Structures are given as C-alpha cells and as structure tokens.
Amino acid sequence: MSLPAAEPKRILLIRLKGIGDVILSTPLFRALKKKYPSAQIDMVTRTLCEPIVRHNPYLNRVIIYPEKPASFGQMARFVKRLRDEQYDWVVDLAAEPRSAWLTFFTGAPLRAGYAFHLRQWAFNRRIPKNKIRKYQAEVNLDIIRALGVPDQGNQTEIVLDRDVKVLAEQYFAQAEIKNLKFRIGLNPTGTWPSKRWPLAHWKELIELINEELGVKPILFGGPGEEGLINEIRAGVEDLSLLKPPTTLSQAAAFVSNLDLLIGNDGTPQHLAQAFGTKSLTLCGPHWGMSWTKPGDVRHRYLQYFLDCGPCDLNACPFPVKAEQGGHAHQECLMKITPKTVLGALKEMLQP
C-alpha cells in the first residue's frame, strides 16, 4: 500500500508497556520529528512508563492509557477521545492485542504496525517483521523506515527534571560516595526470575570489587524489592552501599551519575544506555544483542550459550539439581562467574 500523498499533521504512537521498551522507542520519536517538524506527535502509554517520556522534546503530548480495572464505559470514552483527535497516522509499536484494537478504532487513514498473524487485521499498513535478531531500537526504527521516514540514529534519550538531578547530585556529594574511586552500581533485580543472576554470585562480586578495587558498590532496587536487596547485603553490609528509595525519574538520575552499572537485563540497564553511563548486562535466557546498543564500547553484555538457549523463557524449566545429562536450573546464568564479571568491569573502567 502506498503512503498518503499529504504529509501527516497529527501522529499518534502507541506503546503500552514496558519501561525498557518505551526507552528503546525514543529514537523513533526523534526521527519522526526531524522528518515532520510541524506535525503534532502524541503518544499513548501507561502511567508506569510516563516519566520516561514526560519531557521528551519530540513529543507534544503523552496520553495515559486507562489503568485496570477500567470499566467498559471508561474505555469507550478513551477510544472516542482518540478518534475525535482525527490523527492522520497511528503507529502501533508493539502490535499486541490491546494496542491493535486501539489502533483500529482510531479510524486513522494510516494505521501501521507489524504484521503479526493474529493482529494484522488492525492495520492498513502491515509491515513484515524482520526475522533477523537485532537491537530492539533498530526493530522499532524499521517501522518508520517502512513508512519512508529516515532514522536519526539509534541512541535512546531521556530528559529529566532539574529537581531529580539535584537529588542525585546531593547523594553523590556525600563524603562516603564522593571519595569512591569508582561509582559502581549493581542491579540484581529483574521482572522475571529467569533473568536474575544468582544471589550468591552477587555476594561474591561485592567481595571481589572490594578486594580488587577497594570500592564499595551501590546496590539498586525498586519498590517491593527490598527483601531481595537485603538478602544480598546480608553479611556484606560493610562492603556495599544502598541507593535510597526513589521514583523512576530519580532512579534514572542516580544511574546517570554512575561510572558503571552492572546488572540483570532490565530497566536500569536501559537507563544507563540512554545516559551514556557504562553498562555491563548479565544475560541468561534472553538475547543480549537484542537489548544492548551495538557498536558502543560503553555497553557490553555477558552471556553463556547452552544448547537450550537463549530460550526467551520467563521461567527456567530445569530442576535445581541437574538430572543426568541435563541442565541445572538457570545454568546459563550460573556459568557467568563473579570472576568473569570482575574481569570485564575492570576492562571497562580503564580510561
């Protein structure tokens, strides 16, 4: 299908979840605004993701998708609101069931999204998804490339309020933090259990960083993850520091002040890549190349390839104790040793 002859005056982007996926969509915003500088570009996302795009210079508005348990009436009014906006283009960045329905009901002249078998009916510009695995920001950019919009590079972007920057600056100005030879952050959290490097490995890494570098690393955790952080710090409290409770925007500001962030595949790693903070990501069942900016020496990932993976599963199917000839639970992560991580981080901290 050919594109409409007229340039779009109103563009809507839809990405309902998750935080990392929204961060990886930001290069697309920049490309659209450079191509159509006079167009109004809005985005629909969830409340959790909104801080990431709140001050994005390439978006005119961020529209919050109704949170559960939204009633049928609330959803109907929301859809009518979008339809009344009379967008010229609506681009679904995920093509998941909810976003596909939303895209369809906007009634936009151009409705674009990846041609997934069960959802392609929602789009009148169906874009075949490249089956070659690559960096997710590039996957997002492929959508607008198919619409004739040249990209402006794959660097992700986050713009922060001055007040959250000041909060982070005050924390890092404390004597105990300011005098650190290196400001190393550790992110042991993860949405899925299969993404989490073993707790014992984190403890050993904390000890090694102290022994080899004479540095206390700073542990990062979010709401509801206090138990995990406390379990890791148990017995090594004097060898580590703890980031105070923060909002998502504040956590982003903290990440921007680090020299290096080591962590499981997840939001903090994407924050680091957006700010140019060096990052080392420990990948298990999910492909590291999909979530790590390629060709940038500031960002690396470690991954141990078994014959069963990367499997992209959110829960490892293998037992804690390996059966004869089989794999042990989360063996792909177990085999990334603390000494291997220490060696990589020492290389990355060199000038």
- Quote the tokens at residue 328: 């042990």
Distance CA 3, CA 226 (A): 51
Inter-residue contact 215 to 186 (CB < 8 Å): no
Residues constituting the chain: 351
What's the rounded Cα separation, in Å, for the pair 241 and 247?
18
Share of residues in the chain with pLDDT > 90 (%): 85
pLDDT given for residue 205 in this prediction: 98
Distance (Å, rounded) from C-alpha 43 to C-alpha 139? 18
pLDDT, tens digit, 9 for 90 and up, residues 309-345: 899 998 999 998 888 888 999 999 999 999 999 999 9
User: Tokens in use for 140?
Assistant: 């997002």
Q: How far apart are the first and last CA of the chain?
A: 51
Q: Which of 280, 322, 275 minimizes the C-alpha distance to 297?
A: 280
3-state secondary structure of 263: strand
Residue 164 near residue 249 (C-beta atoms within 8 A): yes
Place of tokens 């957006």: 274
The answer to whether 165 touches 149, Cβ cutoff 8 Å, is no
Pairing state between β 125-127 and 110-114: parallel
Give the per-residue pLDDT at 156: 98
Confidence of residue 3 (pLDDT cuts 50, 70, 90): low
Whole-angstrom distance, CA of residue 91 vs CA of residue 113:
6
Q: Does residue 263 contact residue 192 with C-beta atoms inside 8 Å?
A: no
Domains of the chain in start order, with CATH, are 10-145 (3.40.50.2000), 162-348 (3.40.50.2000)
The torsion angles phi and psi of 154, rounded to 5 degrees, stand at -105, 15
Enter the pTM of the model.
0.94
CA angle 259/31/135 to nearest 5° reads: 55
Section 200-216 average pLDDT:
97
Could you give the angle at the alpha carbon of 245 between the alpha carbons of 221 and 250, nearest 5°? Answer: 90
Helices (H), 239-337: 248-256, 267-275, 288-291, 331-334
Cβ atoms < 10 Å from Cβ of 233: 20
Give the rounded distance of the alpha carbon of 276 from its chain centre: 14
Report helix, strand or coil for 287. coil
Span 120-178, pLDDT tens digits: 899 999 998 877 889 999 999 999 999 999 999 999 999 999 999 999 999 999 999 99
